[in-house]
Amino acid sequence: MNTEALAPRYRDLESWPTALAVEAMLEGQMAAVAAVQSQAAAIAQAAEAAAARLGRSGRLIFVGAGTSGRLAVQDGTELHPTFGWPIERMAFLMAGGLRAMTQAIEGAEDDADAGRVAIDEAMAGHDDVVIGVAASGRTPFTLGAIEAARTRGALTIGIANNRDTVLLTAAEHAICAETGSEVVAGSTRMKAGTAQKVVLNLLSTAIMIRLGFVYEGRMVAMRVSNRKLLNRARIMVADLSGADADAAAAALEAADRDIRLAILLARGVAPDAARAALEAQAGNLGAAIEALGG
């Protein structure tokens, strides 16, 4: 595997001045981001397929081991506060369990049956989207989970850093950010991990956009959980409704700090009609506005 190979250039890395070593590692991080560029179309296709599959009830199920699993959990965890994605519509299947988020669980990633069992216990089905992440592209736990998910009819997306690997073949949508050897041989928490995070960011955000949780470039479904976000929400309501600051703030409180509902209220839509429009459009603010006549 290229991600495990030793790059001759860095064979004596430990003898380099620290500044040069850091520069070399930074070059690697920049190369990792560049490695994602060729996958833009694949990411877009996967996002569109995922949004179509999820509908009103489907779940996003993230699968991985070690660094890959931790990055997947991080990305998924941020979808609720950022886009209002329901917590009950997410699942995290980590080799070794969620305890492996903070400590290595020996041998967990090598258990393909555990991956299959995890998918069965999660009762993955047709409406669900299962995202498996593995730098090697052949981690048994992740591969077992993807194979089981596909058998159960879920949409599967595989993210890897080595081409022509079994994970990419097993998943319906394959995304390969080929990052090559690491500055520190085999340390895929570096380039490979960075590329995975970029892919996950792009994929999950594109899914949320296609589902209508972004309107005119704003995170209109975000959860208002602190003063900073409350101020941001008030500004959004004012900007997207044309109301003044006081009216926007009042609408936001009347909507129990639901930004999408507040925008409709501030635009003069009656509460019941606003709620019905959002429900009919599965929370898609743009579609709701259009249905209400703009």
Residue 78 pLDDT: 97
78 is a catalytic site residue: yes
Distance CA 294, CA 77 (A): 33
Identify whether the C-beta of residue 189 lies closer than 8 Å to the C-beta of residue 163: no
Place of tokens 């941020």: 78
Catalytically annotated residue among 14, 23, 27, 78: 78
4 is a catalytic site residue: no
Distance CA 200, CA 43 (A): 9
Rounded mean pLDDT for each run of 10 residues along the chain, 294 residues in total: 84 94 94 97 98 96 96 97 96 94 88 97 98 97 98 98 97 97 90 97 98 96 96 97 97 98 98 97 95 89
Distance CA 130, CA 61 (A): 5
What does pTM read for this prediction? 0.94
Residue 277 pLDDT: 97
Identify whether the C-beta of residue 80 lies closer than 8 Å to the C-beta of residue 60: no
In the chain the domains, ranked by start, together with CATH numbers, are: 2-210 (3.40.50.10490), 227-291 (1.10.8.1080)
